[in-house]
């Protein structure tokens, strides 16, 4: 089910923003696009200088563009989650997972460089996108579904994330996907306790 302004306002608005940045990335001057993506990257160097800025800016772009698997998952997963727990909680799950998974994967890189286990250029990498937030929301949504849908969804997404990690050329990002999915499952009790009727659902007649 796709987002609508009344049924899933956070997902709807965020989708419009991502469409705009994706179109810009596709058609704008490549040098300008690269400079903006580099400035939005959540690598160790940028996190050390301006953590809040890059944590927000990195989530304004879709790695792989609008036809990527994570872009499609964003539409369906966040819409389904928002219709169950509301806009504020969905935003908190998405951005919380995005931030925690980013820090949990990049801080060890910084430590490894400081200890001499990785080269200094590991501090600078192009790292942006919505995938950590999408994976966290997927894990969270699974806990709100009936068992017949919950476990196949969780098994399929776990298989996807772990398989990618095992054959990864980017273990930092792929380990972050596994972690983000796990983070979503950890908040099942919080989301289940907080579920209740929402104003948007009452106005639109949807539950």
Is 52 a residue whose pLDDT tops 60?
yes
- Topology (CATH) of 9-204: Rhomboid-like fold (1.20.1540)
Residue 130 and residue 62 in contact, taking contact as beta carbons nearer than 8 Å: yes
Res. 194 pLDDT band, cuts 50 70 90:
confident
Q: How far apart are CA 88 and CA 20, in angstroms?
A: 22
Q: What is the pLDDT of residues 116-166, one digit of tens each?
A: 989 998 888 999 999 999 999 999 999 999 999 999 999 999 999 999 999
Q: What is the pLDDT of residues 57-66, one digit of tens each?
A: 999 999 999 9
Size (the chain), residues: 207
Query: Residue 207: its pLDDT value, please?
Result: 33
Report DSSP state, residue 130.
Answer: S
% residues pLDDT > 90 (the chain): 86
Residue 59 and residue 75 in contact, taking contact as beta carbons nearer than 8 Å: no
pTM: 0.91
């Amino acid at each position: 089910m796709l987002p609508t302004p009344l049924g899933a306002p956070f997902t709807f608005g965020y989708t419009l923003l991502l469409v705009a940045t994706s179109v810009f990335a596709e058609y704008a001057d490549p040098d300008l696009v690269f400079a903006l993506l580099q400035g939005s990257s959540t690598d160790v160097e940028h996190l050390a200088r301006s953590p809040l800025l890059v944590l927000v800016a990195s989530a304004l772009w879709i790695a792989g563009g609008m036809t990527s698997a994570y872009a499609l998952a964003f539409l369906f997963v966040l819409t389904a989650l928002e219709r169950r727990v509301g806009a504020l909680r969905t935003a908190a799950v998405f951005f919380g997972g995005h931030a925690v998974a980013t820090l949990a994967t990049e801080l060890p890189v910084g430590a490894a460089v400081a200890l001499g286990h990785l080269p200094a250029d590991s501090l600078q990498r192009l790292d942006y996108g919505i995938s950590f937030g999408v994976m966290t929301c997927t894990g969270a949504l699974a806990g709100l579904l009936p068992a017949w849908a919950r476990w196949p969804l969780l098994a399929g997404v776990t298989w996807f994330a772990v398989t990618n990690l095992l054959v990864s050329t980017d273990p930092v990002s792929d380990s972050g996907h596994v972690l983000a999915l796990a983070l979503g499952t950890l908040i099942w009790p919080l989301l289940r306790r907080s579920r209740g009727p929402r104003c948007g659902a009452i106005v639109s007649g949807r539950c």
